[in-house]
Amino acid sequence: MIEAVIFDVDGVLLRSGAFGELLLRDLGLQRAAVDQFWHGPFVQCALGLADLKHEVEPFLKEWGYPGTVEDCLQTWFQADSPINAEVFDLVERLRRQGMSCHLASTQERYRAAYLENSMGLAERFDRRFFSCHLGVKKPQPEFYRQVAAQLGLAPTALLFFDDQQVNVDAARSAGWHAELYTFGDDLRSVLVRHGIVLST
């Protein structure tokens, strides 16, 4: 029986990705130049091993970004924050029925704080599991092990939604129930398959 439903953030709860496209469009950058940051220093930030503000500063200078580090983070976090109202509504209905709902996401600490506080996700989800706090990120097996352990639940009691197949596969390998999500999917029917019926 499912005892907790867990959601990814980017690509499930939020329609993120706009900031990366903004860099490419407005600064005329090549994707490879931007990927040097995302696949390089940002990984350490997402693991809580490096500070985003320090790591991104030399890249902003190299890219010709017309603003400060603080300007960049504010633009980034706001640009990548459009909510997926259907999923948020579903979370509220699940919690009203007594089902616990959590986040499990690869995030660095400044955006994690923004999500919890500025966007109010700390109030809308029972617990938030971010890679920067766990010291490990999806799809590494230890990420899923830590989440299950901290919840005190068997892996088979967890249902997870993510927009990346590699993360879904890793969750299943860890014993979780996991489903791939694409914007517009009817999650209610997926919940029914897992024995969860929303009240009207």
**What confidence tens digit (pLDDT) does each residue in 47-84 have?**
999 999 999 999 999 999 999 999 999 999 999 999 99
Q: Indicate if 103 and 183 belong to the same structural domain.
A: yes
**What confidence tens digit (pLDDT) does each residue in 79-94 have?**
999 999 999 999 999 9
Q: Indicate if 123 and 189 belong to the same structural domain.
A: yes
Q: Indicate if 100 and 183 belong to the same structural domain.
A: yes
Tokens 């499930």 locate to 12
Q: Indicate if 43 and 126 belong to the same structural domain.
A: no
**What confidence tens digit (pLDDT) does each residue in 5-18 have?**
999 999 999 998 88
Q: Indicate if 182 and 155 belong to the same structural domain.
A: yes
Pick from 79, 109, 126: which residue ends a domain? 79
How large is the average pLDDT for residues 178-184? 95
Angle at 149 between CA 147 and CA 154, to 5 degrees: 100
Q: Is residue 175 in some structural domain?
A: yes
**pLDDT for residue 15:** 92
| pLDDT surpassing 90 at residue 26 | no
Q: Is residue 118 in some structural domain?
A: yes
Question: Which pTM does this prediction carry?
Answer: 0.95
Contact 123, 88 (CB under 8 A): no
Residue range of the domain that includes 140: 4-15+82-193
Q: Indicate if 88 and 118 belong to the same structural domain.
A: yes
Q: Is residue 199 in some structural domain?
A: no
**pLDDT for residue 23:** 87
How large is the average pLDDT for residues 127-145? 98
**pLDDT, mean over the chain:** 96
- The two tokens of residue 26 are 């407005």
Pick from 35, 64, 79: which residue ends a domain? 79
Rounded to an integer, what distance in angstroms lies between the CA atom of residue 33 and that of residue 38? 9
Q: Is residue 200 in some structural domain?
A: no
Q: Indicate if 145 and 67 belong to the same structural domain.
A: no
Q: Is residue 145 in some structural domain?
A: yes
Rounded to an integer, what distance in angstroms lies between the CA atom of residue 129 and that of residue 4? 13
Q: Indicate if 100 and 168 belong to the same structural domain.
A: yes
Q: Is residue 198 in some structural domain?
A: no
Q: Indicate if 65 and 86 belong to the same structural domain.
A: no
DSSP assignment letter at 3: -
**What confidence tens digit (pLDDT) does each residue in 145-164 have?**
999 999 999 999 999 999 99
- Nearest Cα residue to 150 out of 129, 179, 131, 173: 129
Q: How many domains does the chain have?
A: 2
| pLDDT surpassing 70 at residue 176 | yes
Q: Indicate if 97 and 68 belong to the same structural domain.
A: no
- 133: domain CATH number is 3.40.50.1000
Pick from 39, 55, 79: which residue ends a domain? 79
Rounded to an integer, what distance in angstroms lies between the CA atom of residue 179 and that of residue 177? 7
| pLDDT surpassing 80 at residue 124 | yes
Q: Which range is most confident: 19-23, 28-32, 58-62?
A: 58-62
Q: Indicate if 56 and 90 belong to the same structural domain.
A: no
Q: Is residue 172 in some structural domain?
A: yes
| pLDDT surpassing 70 at residue 109 | yes
Q: Indicate if 117 and 178 belong to the same structural domain.
A: yes
**pLDDT for residue 200:** 66
Rounded to an integer, what distance in angstroms lies between the CA atom of residue 115 and that of residue 129? 12
Going by their DSSP bridges, the two strands 127-130 and 158-162 should be labelled as unpaired
CB-based contacts of 195, cutoff 8 Å, min separation 6: 1, 2
